[in-house]
Every structure is written in structure tokens, then in C-alpha cells.
Structure 1
Amino acid sequence: MLKVEKLGVILEATAHDFESAGVLNPAVIQEGENVKMLYRAFKDGNFSTIGYCEFNGPVKLKARYDIPVIIPEKNYEIHGVEDPRIVKIDGVYYITYTGYDGKNALGCLATSKDLQHFEKHGIITPSASLNSYKIALDNNRSIFPKYFEHLQTYIDRGLIHKTKYKVWDKDVVLFPEKIDGHFMMIHRLLPGMQWVKFKSFSDLDKAFWKDYLFHLNQYILMDPLFDFENMHIGAGAPPLKTKEGWLLINHSVQSTPKGRNYHATVALLDLKDPTKVTHRLNTPLFSPDQFYEKVGYVNNVCFPSGTSLFDDDLYVYYGAADNTIAVARMQLSELLEHLLKFPCNDH
């Protein structure tokens, strides 16, 4: 039986204006015995910025800034910069995050050499109008039907021909190393997760994404499968390289008669070809069952978005009830042993 130990809340809101309403959904980068964290902070009105803190070891807070390090500056993020993830490749920190303009939520990129100064590179997801996305989906008739169901919610709201509305694309994570000389990225067009492989971020232009969406069915990494993910799934922490494959800790959203539940879930990707899912746990890794996970800005949320590894102890950092940041611990070897019992039949 896999043992998951919840260690509780490690970061909460403060009296500082930018994070007075809550903190959540952290990006984590481990450097030796230190853990550096970028986290989403928000104030009243749900305006989000990104804060910064550091830990000695996995959970002992040693430094925390009293001002945000990334703030809304561009029109595409004017209502908030949200839900960062972070990897370090060839000495450069790559921070993916969601830019929210009040109508659209799209994946964005910033880079840094020191996590003190950041250069923004704009939107790196399709930024497709709803109507153009509908035309592309019509070319993917064999795709999972829920893609059309999610698009229908926009149609029902009369937004399909309003060009200022884009199809949302969130939960963008990069692999922490290049695959065959290429960046590899996971993103989320509801309800599933898709993969993208590219040489340079400059490749991700309008023509690239138009062709990509017209062949979207070829780029599906995972779609919802189990009851606990009957609404949608999305990437969580950047994939962790292990001897058994790339460990992908993600999140799933379940619709229940009492509302939505956000679970932490887990899968394993092929080491040489991460577009293939080799194993997938058929139960949540962990679910909201503690008060700080069940009651908050959004109730019943465990939203994993970062990990650290100390010996065999795997720490999973997550947003709890969209209000605080918590951490869970498990043995990596035990998790892999358990996960290998659940092979996928279609990889």
C-alpha cells in the first residue's frame, strides 16, 4: 500500500497587499539542499502576482520577499500572472505561467539567470480564436468527444464569433532537459493534456499552431479516463526523470453532486519517447481530506505543481483550497513500484 504523508501548510497569506487574500500553486526548483519557490499570490479581486521564497531542505522557510518578483505588465496578463512552473536548462531558468487578461487565460514564458531579474517572452500557446479552434476541431472528428463538449460551453454563451475571446490554454510545463535536442512541453486544451516538441520558442508562431490544431489528435498525451477525472485533467509539476521513466504528477478535476474535487494524480511516460504514457494510476495519488484542503477560496482542491527529492523522499508541493501552499511526502521507490502495477494497454 502506497503511503502518502501530508505534512500540512508551509506557506500562507500575509499582511502584504499583493498576497493578502491567499497564496497557491507553487513552482519549485531544487538546488542541492535548498528549495527555491515561485508562487502565485493574490489580493482582493483575484488579481495575481508571483512571489518568491526559499527553504532550507524541503520545508524549513529561510527567506521570503515582501514584494512580488513577477507582476502584470502586458495586456495579455493585465488581470494576473498565475500558476508558475519552473525548470532549469543549460543554466537558464524557464518559467511558464498563465497570463490572464480578464477574459482569456493563455500560457506564457519568462526566463531568468538568477530568479531576481526576469525577461518575458510573451504567449507561447496557440492564442486561437474560438471560431478558428472550432474549425480545427471539426478536422479532428476522431478526437475525444469532451473536446467538443467544452467548446460547446463557449458556443452556448454566444462567444464563438467574438474575436477577443480565445480558447483557454493553461498548465504549461516544460521537461527539465531537452529531448533529442528539442524542448518538450505539455499544455492543456480542455479536457486533456497535449505535448509539443520544438527546437526554439520562435518556432511557436501562428503558422505552427494553426497546423498543430488541425492535427491536434496526433498530439494528445492523456485524456480523462477515470471517474475522479470526469471533468478534465492538467499538468502539475514538471516531469521528474527516474530509472523507470518520466514521472508526471498532474491534477484531475471530478464533478460530484456536491461540487468539484481537485485531486493529485500520477502517470509514467516512456523515458526515450515521452509522448507515450506507459503507466497510469487508476486512483488519485491524494485527494482533499484535510480542513485546509477542503475549505478555502475554492473548496476541495489539491493542485500539485512542484516537487523536490531528498534521498528517496519525494516532496509534492501543492495549492490547497486555492488559499495556502501545502506539501505531501512519499517514498519515490515505493511510488514507482506501485505505479508499475498499472500499465497502459495502448502505448
Structure 2
Amino acid sequence: MTRLNETARTTAVPYELRRLGTIMSADPGDPLEAEGVLNPATAWGADGELYLYPRVVAAGNVSRIARARVTVVDGVPVGVERLGIVLSPDERWEHGRQNAGVEDPRITFLEPIGLHVMTYIAYGPLGPKPALAISRDTIDWQRLGPIHFAYQPELKTDLNLFPNKDIVFFPELVAGPDGRPSIALLHRPMWDLDWLRPGEGATTPAGIDDDRPSIWIGYVDLEDVRRDPAALTRVHGSSMIAAPEMGYETAKIGAGPAPLRVPEGWLLLHHGVSGAKPKGFELAHGSRYAAGAMLLDAEDPRRVIARSAEPLLAPETAEELHGTLGNVVFPTAIEQIGDRRFVFYGMADSSIGVAELTRLD
């Protein structure tokens, strides 16, 4: 299968990340944080304050999504004030008999519809499934339910059969496959079904011969969403745009924060995983998670026009090397404070770090 990004491109992505430190670590006195705080979303409140939405993990790997006010000193985020839980695995489809979780949120403010949209992963009886919640004030969140992928005959498969992670919306409208203004999102299907049916292996869509988890794009009809926000859960026109390629992403890749509009196009920070190959969606101890970047075409974000040959940020500090899952840098949010941009990322599935994103001259 020929991907739209299989055209002449460069590995020069003129951006870099500089780590600034740890912004949040688990509170040893809080049982809801017994196994770590990690992989946060962010959003600006109506009060002009920046809020962090970390995944907090209780004993037994039960995840919830919390809310915390970001403390900013001299224009730099340095800490948080905890404000409680905004989403728990309360729905039956968000937990099984021996597992539960609402995990790894990303939040995008979709200006065309005036809503903050949170994507998250519901760890239910059939593994990780992507789901959505919306908010007007960043305080109260209304579930829209699981994402449903429309059937595409050319793929000869049903994307809804497979676990899916790393879901994030573009903040602005883009041209859909039919050329109409559309809401776009990135997602990452996982084809290995051995966890559910031992011996089943990986069943990839027609024309896809690489079963490693890769970045896909899909679209939502704008007019449908304006009539009913629940239409955000109905995705069509999915296609793969980027597979593992570089040395730091030999096992899998996945989208990070919402793509950022920059002069060159759309800047997408992503995580690349090397080392031990994971089975299904399970964590792979011995893997290394690093943060990379790619540029997507401004007019057609299905096209990758540049890609970093080396990671922008790789595990180096004690917090990044040691934790629930060591050797992990996992970017999930970007925010601008003043004239500076900051990236929030998970550290070894245990803490949350912040790095500054700058453009190379």
C-alpha cells in the first residue's frame, strides 16, 4: 500500500526540546497516586489559568484523570496545585472484572465548535478503546462514549475490532479526503490479537504489510458535529500516514500532543519506541520511549514532509530512567505561556516533566 507521505522529503525538523525539570510526582500519601502520575493533558480555564489533567494510577493499575492548577513562576511552569478527580472508570465499558481505567488524556480546544475535547483510553473488558468527553469550562466533563470508525471497504477490515491508542484532534479545520473542511484526528490501531485469541497473531488491513503500531489519520464531518457534538465519535476516511522508520522507533510510534500549526506546516511531536517489541497492547519492559517530531503538510496533513532522524528528547535523568516503566519520555501536551512553548511529558510512567520547545535558527 503506497502512503501519501512516500514522496521526497527531508529529515530536517527545525525544532528542539530542552528539559526543564519535573513538574509533578506521585503523592505518597494519596492512594489514588500509589502507582504514579503521568501522561497529562492540558487546557486553559475561563479564569486564564493553565490546568494539567494527569493520569493518576492507584494500586492494581486503576487509572483516573485528575485536574491540577499549574504554578507558573517567571513565565515557566514549575509545579501544580491538586484539585481532585474529573473522570473515573465509572462506566461498565471502562472496566472489566480484573482491570479498569481511563487513561492518557489529550485535550484540544476546537474553536469551530467552542468546545474542549478530551480523548482518553478506556481500559475495559476488550482492552484499550478510545473514547471522548467534552467540556465548556474545563471543570465538568461530559462523556460522549467510545469512538466508532466507519467501515471502509478498501481496508477489508473493521477498525473497531482492534485496540487503539494515542488519539488526538487537530485544533483547526483541515481539508478532508473530499476537500471539504473537516475535523481531523490522529489514532493508532494495534493489529496483534494474541492477547484476546492466542495464536491469532496480527491481521492487518488490506495493503498494509507492516504490523507495527503506526500513526493513522481520520476525519469527522463538521456540520454533523455542529448539529450534535456526539458526532465527534463518528470517524471516517482513516488511513495510515506514518510507520516506524527511524532507529529510535523500531517497535512502534504514536502521536503525542495536538499538532501545532507552525510556518512549515503541522508540527507533530510523537513517541518512538525501540528495543523489546510489545505483544498486543501490553507494556514492554526493556523498551525505550523517546520523543521525536515530524512535519505534516499544511494543506493535506496525510503527507509527512519532514521527520526527525534522531529524538528531540530521550530518557536521561533518574526520573526518566527509573519508575513503573523505566526508560520512558512520553510527550502528551504543548502550551504557550507568553512567547514560549512548553511540552508536558510522562517520565517512566511515574512522574511528569516539562521541556521547552524552541525553533532552530
Question: Scaled by the length of structure 2, what TM-score is found?
Answer: 0.75
Report what 2:174 is aligned to: 179
Rounded to whole Å, the distance in 2 between the matches of 1:330 and 1:111 is 27
Rounded to whole Å, the distance in 1 between the matches of 2:17 and 2:136 is 34
Q: Which amino acid aligns with 1:271?
A: A
Q: Which amino acid aligns with 1:73?
A: D
Rounded to whole Å, the distance in 2 between the matches of 1:203 and 1:172 is 12
1:309 shift after superposition: 2.2
Report what 2:26 is aligned to: 13
Report what 1:108 is aligned to: 131
- From 231, 236, 243, the equivalent of 1:202 is 231
1:308-319 to structure 2, matched below 5 A, reads: 308-319=335-346
1:317 shift after superposition: 0.7
| Mapped contact 1:87–1:94 kept (Cα < 8 A) | yes
Report what 2:253 is aligned to: 233
For structure 2, the 5+ residue unaligned runs are 1-13, 176-180, 191-212, 278-284
1:282 shift after superposition: 0.7
Deviation string, structure 1 residues 90-127 (Cα, Å, up to 9, x no partner): 32110000000154101100001112211101111449
For structure 1, the 5+ residue unaligned runs are 141-164, 338-347
Deviation string, structure 1 residues 174-228 (Cα, Å, up to 9, x no partner): 00122243110000013101001121453755xx76xx6xxx6xx1111111121
| Mapped contact 2:71–2:81 kept (Cα < 8 A) | no
1:2 shift after superposition: 6.7
Report what 1:147 is aligned to: none
Report what 1:149 is aligned to: none
Distance 1:30 1:250, change over 3 A: farther
1:136 shift after superposition: 8.0
SS in 1 for 2:53: strand
Distance 1:285 1:203, change over 3 A: closer
Which structure carries more strand by proportion?
2
Deviation string, structure 1 residues 230-288 (Cα, Å, up to 9, x no partner): 11000100001112111100101101598200010101111121111111111111110
Matched, 1:97 2:130: no
Distance 1:176 1:60, change over 3 A: same
- From 15, 20, 44, the equivalent of 2:59 is 44
Matched, 1:167 2:162: yes
SS in 2 for 1:182: strand
1:10-89 to structure 2, matched below 5 A, reads: 10-14=23-27, 15-30=29-44, 34-57=49-72, 58-61=76-79, 63-65=81-83, 67-78=84-95, 79-89=100-110
Matched, 1:124 2:124: no
SS in 1 for 2:248: helix
Number of matched pairs: 295
1:301 shift after superposition: 0.4
- From 256, 273, 289, the equivalent of 1:253 is 273
1:74 shift after superposition: 1.4
Distance 1:224 1:237, change over 3 A: same
Distance 1:322 1:203, change over 3 A: closer
Which structure carries more helix by proportion?
1
Distance 1:86 1:3, change over 3 A: closer
For structure 1, which segment, 174-183 or 46-55, has the greater mean C-alpha deviation from structure 2 after superposition?
A: 174-183
1:299 shift after superposition: 0.7
Root-mean-square deviation (Å): 2.8
SS in 1 for 2:174: coil
1:62 shift after superposition: 5.3
